Amino acid sequence: MFDKYQARRTYSLAVIAGLLFSLTKAFPAEAAVQGSSEGDFRDETIYFVITSRFYDGDESNNYYNRDRIEIGDPHWRGDFKGLISQLDYIRELGFSAIWITPPIENRSGLDYHGYHGYDWNRVDPRLESPGATYADFIAAAHAKGIKVIQDVVINHSSQYGIRDQVWIDHLPIKYYRPQGGAPVRNGPYLGNLGDYRSTNRMDDDNSVAPSWYRERLNRDPNGVEPLVDPLSGVVVPSAGYNPNRFFGLDAQKLDARWYHRDGFMAGGDWENPWALQHKHMAGDTIDLATENQNVKDYLNTAIHKYLDMGIDAIRLDTVKHVERSNLLEYVNNWKTYKPSLFVFGECLVKGLGFGDLSGDNAPSDIRPWWYTRLGTDTRNPNSGGDSGFSVLDFSLFSTFRDNVTRGSFSGLGQVFSMDWIYGDATRLVTFFQNHDVGPDNDFKYRFRGETWMAASVYNLLWTIRGIPALYYGEEIEFQKGACQDICGNNDVLSQTGRAYFGKNLEPDTIGKTKSHPLWSHIRRLNQIRRRVPALRRAPVTDFVEWGSGLHFVRDDRSGSGSYAVVGLAIGNDQWISVDNVADGIYRDAVTGNEIRADGGKIQFPVRGNSAGIWVLDGPGKIGADGAFLHP
């Protein structure tokens, strides 16, 4: 990431899981993850929320971080109580899975997003309320038929270390004084930058910290009692004293049992496998030694607790920052503990990401497809089978800046012609934008183009292979054109793509929200996808694009028996002609029209920015006409 960077089991199941876990220790690190016939995540569509920014159900757990304060908009604003109250909204929109940002307890100056983990065993109390814990949310989602995807970080911790495991040397922040020595005047952080919700303004309650640090946990909230810095002998508080002693760290002095000691990333490190997997991304994302057994044991034991709570899938953060065999050890562990688990990850690239297969600017072994395979040849994906781990489709996403944002489908053919390199391209998670990136300019911004362009993207994502994911607010073009994350020195969250969404879900605004043409468009696409199995599970064949249109086939006759021919138009009306299709009666899920294909050929018109979804022996029209799906 750029800035970061109970449903109970029965006893017998727990015993079986324990036996399987003991057996997996003997498996090779890169053994293929075993799947399960228990459900298929390709049948889902995903709604992605930053929990703390979605809907505020309990004001008592709101919290301001010490950075980028805007009074009236606490960083930690949404919570599980609020998310539970909006499950019907998400379900009505047609989504069957919710991806939430990491719920574990966090620590940093700007940790509302969840990617600065401090205690993997504890849900952050700023997200929970009486009767609305994380476990309560999971149970409530399941009661609505909605699956839960938990975002997980194993690559790094916060700069505070890990509670009760490892401490990183800092002076207590309540003793920091800026140059000039004036008391801090920063919203609720009056006097000093210590945690304003803590009695003694300390936010690092780590039992493994040295005694001189732990002594201050229980006294001196104003941060005025003299404290000698053991490193330098300087007495604090002292105006302008070295800020790194409060906010930074010396990588060489980190505990090697838990962390790498190889410095911070810069320049060309971002395309260098060794640097990516050994250096720290930033001062608040400290690179864990994920290959060490104590780290594995800690993280896996914690993740098992959330699997026991009932989470259905895991989205794994910062994939390319963990070497493949090491990463698959973790994934295999979780999949063995819960065989039905679906796991996908973020291997971020800004480009096609084919690595050694295409003269890319980085080797294949940090590119998305590599993590979905088990081979040893970076130029031959078929040198190894499917790893059982999937990824977000950054390769497809990266084309949108240069095609659909210009009213064209040009260049998509190159992406889909490379589907063979992935372990299973039908399990890729597709998206138009997320909390880090969007398709505009240098990938920093929420989409700012015309509404019909966005609708055309969704027509593609809901009919092409993969599992579509929508970032909260896309259904109403929320924060259109805003920087996804903080861009400027003085930006606050309300100016970004991570702004608080709840104002659009109140009784006096929900009608306007649901009247947005994209809201009903996405809802109908979800209805169509759910009724046509081929759109969910089949690979893509016979893909042809010509800028203003495209067509392809989804053939799942060997599985569900479903078969569909899809034609899309962007900008202008198109006449679609597709050869080599199965003969028979086709019905269009968009218009309800019926035609017969004879001699392996089907022809049909598609209105501009709409779709033709012709299903062999299909059900006919699905859902109501709208601005972007209509005759």
437: CB partners within 8 A, 6+ apart: 348, 350, 397, 443, 444, 484
For the record, the structure tokens of 623 come out as: 């859902």
Show the tokens assigned to 126: 């700023």
Structural domains in the chain, sorted by start: 11-160+287-527 (3.20.20.80), 538-616 (2.60.40.1180)
Q: To which H or E segment does residue 596 belong?
A: strand 594-597
Instruction: Read off the pLDDT of each residue in 202-212 and give the average, rounded to a whole number.
Output: 95
In whole angstroms, what is the distance from residue 551 CA to residue 556 CA?
17
Cα(517)–Cα(541) distance, rounded to whole angstroms? Answer: 31
Q: In 354-370, which positions are buried (b, 16+ CB within 10 angstroms) versus exposed (e)?
A: bbbbeebebebbbbbbb
What was the pLDDT predicted at 25?
33
- Strands 601-606 and 574-579: what pairing? antiparallel
Token pair 């679906």 is found at: 342
Residue 331 in this model has a pLDDT that exceeds 50: yes
Please give the average per-residue pLDDT across 206-214, as a whole number.
97
* % residues pLDDT > 70 (the chain): 94
* Helices and strands (DSSP H and E) totals, the chain: 17, 26
Question: Using 50, 70 and 90 to split pLDDT, how confident is the model at 214?
Answer: very high
597-615 average pLDDT score:
97
Phi-psi region of 592 (alpha: psi -120 to 50; beta: other; left: phi over 0): left
The bridge status of strand 46-49 relative to strand 97-100 is parallel
| 8 A C-beta contact, residue 280 and residue 264 | yes
pLDDT in tens, 491-520: 999 999 999 999 999 999 999 999 999 999
CA–CA separation, 390 and 316 (whole Å) = 10
Report how far residue 560's alpha carbon sits from residue 308's, in angstroms, rounded to the nearest whole number: 31
The answer to whether the CB of 177 falls within 8 A of the CB of 240 is yes
Alpha helices by DSSP H, listed for 68-192, are 80-85, 87-92, 134-143
pLDDT at 283 over 50: yes
Say how far apart CA 395 and CA 429 lie, in whole Å. Answer: 11
Query: Over the stretch 461-471, which tens digit does the pLDDT of each residue have?
Result: 999 999 999 99
Res. 21: pLDDT tops 50: no
Beta bridge partners of 391: 345
Query: Does residue 528 have a pLDDT over 50?
Result: yes
Residue 181 confidence (pLDDT): 84
Q: Look at residues 151, 124, 137 and name the one whose alpha carbon lies nearest to residue 61.
A: 124
**Cβ atoms 446, 498 nearer than 8 A:** no
Q: What is the arithmetic mean of pLDDT over 583-608? A: 97
How many residues does this entry show for the chain?
A: 631
d(CA 522, CA 527): 9
What pLDDT score was predicted for residue 440?
82
Mean pLDDT of 15-24: 33
pLDDT at position 183 is 85
40 in the Ramachandran plot: left (φ > 0), alpha (ψ -120 to 50) or beta? Answer: beta
Per-position DSSP letters for 51-79, written without gaps between them: HHHH--S-GGG-B--SSS--TT--SB---
Q: Is the pLDDT of residue 2 over 90?
A: no
Q: In this predicted structure, what is the pLDDT of residue 67?
A: 95
pLDDT at residue 41 tops 70: yes
Q: pLDDT digits over 101-136, tens only?
A: 999 999 999 999 999 999 999 999 999 999 999 999
Over residues 367-378, the pLDDT tens digits come to 999 999 999 999
Strand-pair category, 467-471 with 574-579:
unpaired
- 333: number of Cβ within 10 Å: 21
pLDDT surpassing 80 at residue 7? no
Q: What is the pLDDT of residue 525?
A: 98
For 630, the token pair is: 């209509």
The confidence band for 601, taking pLDDT boundaries of 50, 70 and 90, is very high
Nearest to 53 by CA among 514, 478, 522: 478
pLDDT mean over 74-93: 98
Whole-number Å distance between alpha carbons of 499 and 516? 19
Report the candidate in 17, 327, 286 with the shortest Cα–Cα distance to residue 157.
286
Residue-level pLDDT at 615: 98
DSSP secondary structure string for all residues of 469-534: EEETTGGGTTTTT-BSS--STT--GGGSTT---GGGGSTTTHHHHHTSHHHHHHHHHHHHHHH-TH
Q: How confident is the model at residue 6 (pLDDT cuts 50, 70, 90)?
A: very low
Ordered DSSP codes for 14-26: HHHHHHHHHHHTT
| Other Cβ atoms closer than 10 A to 340 | 15
Contact 336, 24 (CB under 8 A): yes
Does the pLDDT at position 350 exceed 90?
no
Mapped onto helix, strand or coil, the DSSP state of residue 476 is helix
Residue at 518: amino acid letter: L
Position 351, amino acid: G
Residues 110 and 119: their CA atoms lie apart, in Å, by 16
Kindly tell me the sign of the dihedral angle through the C-alpha atoms of 105, 108, 113, 118.
negative
State whether residue 34 is helix, strand or coil: coil
Mean pLDDT, the chain, integer: 93
End-to-end CA distance of the chain: 42
* pLDDT over 90 at 365, yes or no: yes
- In this predicted structure, what is the pLDDT of residue 14? 33
Q: How would residue 554 be classed by pLDDT, with cut points 50, 70 and 90?
A: very high
Helices 134-143 and 293-309, axial angle in degrees (round to 10):
50
Whether the pLDDT of residue 441 is over 90: the answer is no
Residue with tokens 């895991």: 314
| pLDDT for residue 9 | 31
298: pLDDT strictly greater than 60: yes
pLDDT at residue 442 in the model: 79
For residue 361, name the pLDDT band (cuts at 50, 70, 90).
Answer: confident
Average pLDDT estimate for 547-552: 96
- Mean pLDDT for the stretch of residues 526-553: 97
Amino acid, single-letter form, for residue 438:
G
DSSP 37: S
